[in-house]
A and B are shown apart, each in its own frame.
Chain A
Amino acid sequence: MSSTEQGTSSAAPAEPTTAPESAAAPEVPESFYYVHGKDKVVHKVSAGALQHSALIHGMISNLGYTEEQAKANPFPFENIDGDILQMVVDWCNQHKGKPTPPEDTNLPKQKEKLFDLVLAVNYLEIKELLTYCCKQVAMMVKGKSPEEIREIWMIPTDAEDEAAEKEAKKRAGKEAAGETAAAAGDAK
């Protein structure tokens, strides 16, 4: 499916359409699957594009779904935001059947989404995209001082870590005391 075909994304499974094929396309028609994220918007993706995801590839490889069965059973990824899943689907489509270049200019540009994208890509096991995302994260600290790195990567200071640890201990102590009191109440 090309990126323009994502216009078929909707709350209901889209009608299967024939994906544009190159002159060297295989004779066997390409199979399609359906995925949706937290927003329930269904994306139709070709099996070729989904090969990038080791997780989905593993799921579909032995299913032998017919087109109707695939449409009726979209893969739910409730832990992934809809816009993030859209980015992932776009990337998989753009890189379908192509060798992945060492530097990827098609990476999503929204830096604020990078953390969610990394989590999604890691969950879906898309190795090449994960590598590109990690390179972007690494590039953030090029030429930066420890103070700047601490801010960019949101690393707590030692004092903040200590305070958080104290707070966690305090909370754990309170919870333990609560449990003891509850157990004593039950015993009565």
Chain B
Amino acid sequence: MPFPILNTPFVVLSEIINILEPNEIVNASFCSNNMNRLLKNHYQRRKPLEWKLIMSNHECCGKVDIVTSKDDEKRMTVLSLQPYSSVWKSFAGKIERNTEFLEFYFEDRVMGSKLIVQYVTNLFNINVYGLDIDRNGIWTIGWINGWQEKALAHFVFRKIPYIIDWYGDAAIDYALRNARASDYYNIDDVVSNTFRFDGNLGPMKELYIPDGGHWVTLNNLINFDAIRIVVRDSRLSVSDLYTFIRYWLAGGSPRLTLLYLEFENDRSFENFEKQLEVVEKNVVGDYRLSDDEEDFHFDHGYSIQRKDGVKAVINFDIDHFVMMVL
């Protein structure tokens, strides 16, 4: 049974719009210019402050996602851009629809990606919060930097699936130098054995290198301004880590609260107590930085203290190293 929504009082209409999911609102915005204006006006008055817009551009597909929950768990695609098929050569562009959101087909992938992002930012009156790209989407960094004044909060640089020995050194170097994100920075693409980065990163809340972090050097560790740093496949040596701990004890990396490293090859932390002034040894217990984070279990940990009184606990084994600032 049809419902004449445009004949409802303003308060009712606003309440209905507030209940709709972002993908439903985007779909409704394509009903008519009038409906589009009405929705835009709604979000001009009531900016959806908790919504975060993520621009995705990987595996040759562009997507606009909206995250509606604080913990980033509720993320939905509202518009997508698929590779143009020669089947539709006679069309300049085509719109398809799966059950949840509209899919656009553009011959010019870059132009199409920009259009869908601009459409959604304009509709909801919000900025791009995050970028989620792979090497094919590297152009988005320069475009966002030029197009949007507000800095990104979230940046993910994915590896291209199913590739071996095709290193993204130049793309990662470009990303590290040009992509800025205040909250979360994830570098997952693969680089060659000789890749090094000599610039700075941050400030940011979290740097996460889930794979292939062999390129992270002691200098990088010192120059990365992050509250939490997680690196997997690390090649940092034990002596590098002693040097970093001394640097921290002297007041370096003052914002750091967590350093977690998983080593590519086993490490042996001999003479730890001789190398550093330990406040307490055999520290045992579960430590966490905040209520919504996972515990780190310490078996035979050490406690160290900076001159200003700030303490940190350190735990390590042959395959990992963790330092938490209390």
Chain A residues at the B interface, C-beta cutoff of 8 Å: 111-112, 114-115, 118-119, 122, 130-131, 134-135, 137-138, 140-146, 149-158, 161
Q: Which of A119, A155, A161 has the most CB of B within 10 A?
A: A155
B31 is an interface residue with CB less than 8 A from chain A: yes
B253 is an interface residue with CB less than 8 A from chain A: no
- Residue among A112, A135, A144 making CB contact with B19, cutoff 8 Å: A135
Q: How far is the CA of A152 from the CA of B28 in the complex (A)?
A: 11
Q: Are B99 and A152 in contact (CB under 8 A)?
A: no
Q: Are B12 and A155 in contact (CB under 8 A)?
A: no
- Residue among B1, B15, B27, B99 making CB contact with A141, cutoff 8 Å: B27
The answer to whether A156 and B27 touch (CB under 8 A), given A122-B9, A130-B15, A134-B12, is no
B11 is an interface residue with CB less than 8 A from chain A: yes
Which 7 interchain pairs have the tightest Cβ spacing? Answer: A146-B30, A153-B5, A138-B19, A111-B1, A154-B4, A150-B31, A134-B15
Stretch at the interface among B32-40, B81-89, B168-176, B240-248: B32-40
The answer to whether A140 and B9 touch (CB under 8 A), given A150-B31, A155-B32, is no
B8 is an interface residue with CB less than 8 A from chain A: yes
Q: Are B6 and A134 in contact (CB under 8 A)?
A: no
Instruction: Enumerate 10 A-B pairs (CB-CB under 8 Å) in ascending A order.
Output: A118-B8, A118-B12, A122-B9, A122-B11, A138-B24, A144-B27, A149-B28, A154-B5, A155-B6, A161-B34
Please name 10 further chain A to chain B contacts, defined as beta carbons within 8 Å, in addition to the given A140-B3, A149-B27, A153-B6, sorted by A numbering. Answer: A131-B15, A141-B24, A141-B28, A146-B30, A146-B31, A153-B4, A153-B31, A154-B5, A156-B6, A161-B33
Q: How far is the CA of A112 from the CA of B8 in the complex (A)?
A: 15
Q: Which of B3, B20, B28, B102 has the most CB of A within 10 A?
A: B3
Q: Are A142 and B32 in contact (CB under 8 A)?
A: no
B49 is an interface residue with CB less than 8 A from chain A: no
Q: Are A154 and B31 in contact (CB under 8 A)?
A: no
Chain B residues at the A interface, C-beta cutoff of 8 Å: 1-9, 11-12, 15-16, 19-20, 24, 27-28, 30-35, 97, 99-100, 102
Tell me the minimal C-beta distance from A96 to chain B in angstroms. Answer: 23
Q: How far is the CA of A145 from the CA of B30 in the complex (A)?
A: 9
Tell me the minimal C-beta distance from B20 to chain A in angstroms. Answer: 5
Chain B residues with CB below 8 A from A146, complex form: 27-28, 30-31, 102
Closest to A140 in B: B3
Chain B residues with CB below 8 A from A151, complex form: 2
Tell me the minimal C-beta distance from B68 to chain A in angstroms. Answer: 14
Chain B residues with CB below 8 A from A157, complex form: 32
Q: Are A155 and B8 in contact (CB under 8 A)?
A: no
Tell me the minimal C-beta distance from A84 to chain B in angstroms. Answer: 15
Chain B residues with CB below 8 A from A142, complex form: 24
- Residue among A112, A118, A119, A158 making CB contact with B1, cutoff 8 Å: A112
Q: Are A122 and B33 in contact (CB under 8 A)?
A: no
Chain B residues with CB below 8 A from A145, complex form: 27, 97
Q: How far is the CA of A140 from the CA of B27 in the complex (A)?
A: 13
Q: How far is the CA of A122 from the CA of B99 in the complex (A)?
A: 32
Tell me the minimal C-beta distance from B78 to chain A in angstroms. Answer: 13
Q: Are A155 and B31 in contact (CB under 8 A)?
A: yes
